[in-house]
Amino acid sequence: GAMWTYSGPEGQDHWPEHYPYCGGTFQSPIDIKSELMRFDPTLRPIQVQNYNLAPGEQLTLGNNGHSIQISLPHTMHISSLPHRYTAAQLHFHWGSRGRAAGSEHVVNSRQSAAEMHVVHFNSDRYPNVSTAVDKSDGLAVLGVLIEVGEFNPTFEHFLKFINGIKYMGQRVQIPGFNVRALLPARLDEYYRYDGSLTTPPCYPSVLWTVFRDRVTVSHQQFLALATALYASSAQDSAPLPLNNNYRRLQLPDSRTVLVSFKE
Ligand SMILES: NS(=O)(=O)c1c(F)c(F)c(S(=O)(=O)CCO)c(N[C@H]2CCCc3ccccc32)c1F
Ligand SMILES: [Zn+2]
């Protein structure tokens, strides 16, 4: 991927040197604290369409050096927002072996083991994610907090291929599966705020929806995610493990976090 990393000389403290928005306002992630929350009765349940993919629908599973990502067909979209937001990709952020604390969003200072993001772009207004990515109404990302607990059979649809994408730039085709099953049961309870990409270029272009309910993966599944991948390419003489790929908490500034539930 690009020349930025999460730690070291090109780590997140240096991102603003090449990506000015990373030092700007409306940055993500944030600690979603009770004092920032305000109940908003107009927040409707999230409705997703065509998330249940047939096995014949091939998806590209890849290691882009920053995360494990799955490309998504443009038939998948969110239908409950003011504009249609069409799916582009999903990816994850996680901790490391022995440190199940790698989510980006944090709720009342509680960090989860990992976090999944499903990236969508405003397809009413923009032809693709690349043109939408720097527009204030360009992106809508669904965030799912992940804890270590019960085994998650849906994760196996891509975790079983993880050893084929150990190095940056590697990708494999995998059969489609029910992406809805990666989301929590309740899509009516969530946190909503205006924020940014959590990676460079950190454009403040994301309408964030972080679900209240968490999903679980087993300890073994968490270890697979946290230990199987490298941020370096197969040829690199110094393999660089891909872990702790989460951005530090950003200032909420004067932002309010709207919540769709009362207590
Ligand atoms: N946390 S996050 O903010 O949701 C988030 C990531 F963390 C993340 F690593 C990625 S990346 O894998 O593309 C690595 C480089 O951006 C993205 N990509 C988005 C935004 C950038 C342009 C683009 C183009 C096509 C598809 C997706 C995307 C990202 F949005
Ligand atoms: Zn992300």
Q: What is the ipTM of this complex?
A: 0.95
Q: For 118-141, write each residue's pLDDT tens digit.
A: 999 999 999 999 999 999 999 999
Distance 203 CA to ligand 2 centre (A): 13
CA distance readout (Å), 102 to 147, 162, 225: 10, 19, 11
Active site includes 74? no
Supply the pLDDT for residue 218: 98
Blockwise average pLDDT, block size 10, the chain, 263 residues: 85 97 98 98 98 98 98 98 98 97 98 98 98 98 98 98 98 98 98 98 98 98 98 95 98 96 91
Closest listed ligand to the CA of 19: 1
66 lines ligand 1 (CB under 6 A): yes
Please identify, by atom number, the ligand 1 atom nearest to the C-alpha of residue 66.
9
pLDDT for the residue numbered 2 = 65
| Confidence at residue 119, expressed as pLDDT on a 0 to 100 scale | 98
The alpha carbon of 186 and the centre of ligand 2 are apart by a number of angstroms equal to 21
> Which protein residues have a CB closer than 5 Å to ligand 2 (ion)?
117
Report CA(42)–ligand 2 centroid distance (Å): 26
pLDDT digits (tens, 9 = 90+) for 29-72: 999 999 999 999 999 999 999 999 999 999 999 999 999 999 99
pTM metric for this prediction: 0.98
What's the gap in Å between 147 CA and the centre of ligand 1? 22
* ω into 204 cis (within 30 of 0): no
Which of 28, 63, 89, 193 for a ligand 1 pocket mutation test, highest count of atoms within 8 Å of Cβ? 89
- Residue 263: its pLDDT value, please? 82
